[in-house]
Amino acid sequence: MGAKSVSAVQVKTGDPAPPPVVSSDCVKLDARNQERREALSEASNDQSIVGPGHSGKGTTMSSCSSSTGGRPSIGSAHSNQKAYEKLPNGLKSGAAANQSEGDRKRVRNGTKATTCGHVHPDPASQKSGHAEARLLDSMSGGALPSKITFNIDWRKGAGGTSKMPCKTCHEYLCKVSKDCDVEILLCDRNNVAHPVPCPASRKNRKALKKKLDARRRSPH
């Protein structure tokens, strides 16, 4: 009886996947976040403005880069209204430049639509005060950029950090992305940019958090 030939099993080793490409926009925005936090630290010892130290509430400082075809512009916003009293020229309050005080109040209380027809949900005064919401609101009334990159610096009151938007801001980002055809990217903690996943479902948010908050492993 002839011997059977057994084919050797070939294991494909291949080259390892290349590391993700760091975004120069994310690097600049990360530096802007730190710069604004340092400026607040110099202006105030209030932990509800500066961020969690040994005590105090958590805060979010977000910066975004937007382009309408020309040179990109960078804006920053903070989640606490008191921060604007300390850095009135360094932070976006949420109001567009051409917006009246009356319109601004109606946007903040959820009775007037803002960027891309978004209406802040209840409690509107709180939701509209989130850093990413302020940045998007500041773009209302004008030509929207074709691309926006966000770098979120959320420092939690109990310690720790995150690059995640809250669910309400995630929904706002998706509305602008879908309804107004704007490419929106979010920076992870390694300064790699990722497209915002839509809708802001539990599944998408879980996957997004894994991308944004994962620490890159050292090759050694």
DSSP state of 70: S
Render pLDDT for 112-159 as a digit per residue (tens, 0 to 9): 999 999 999 999 999 999 999 999 999 998 889 999 999 999 999 877
Give the number of C-alpha atoms closer than 13 A to the C-alpha of residue 30, restricted to the C-beta side.
16
**Residues facing 67 on adjacent strands:** 147
Render pLDDT for 37-92 as a digit per residue (tens, 0 to 9): 999 999 999 988 988 775 667 899 999 999 877 778 999 999 999 999 999 999 99
Alpha carbon distance 188, 213 (integer Å)? 6
In sequence order, what are the residues at sequence separation of 6 or more whose Cβ sits closer than 8 angstroms to the Cβ of residue 53? Answer: 47
DSSP state of 175: H
| The pair of three-digit structure tokens given for residue 134, joined into one six-digit string | 């302020």
| The pair of three-digit structure tokens given for residue 64, joined into one six-digit string | 């975004």
DSSP state of 16: P
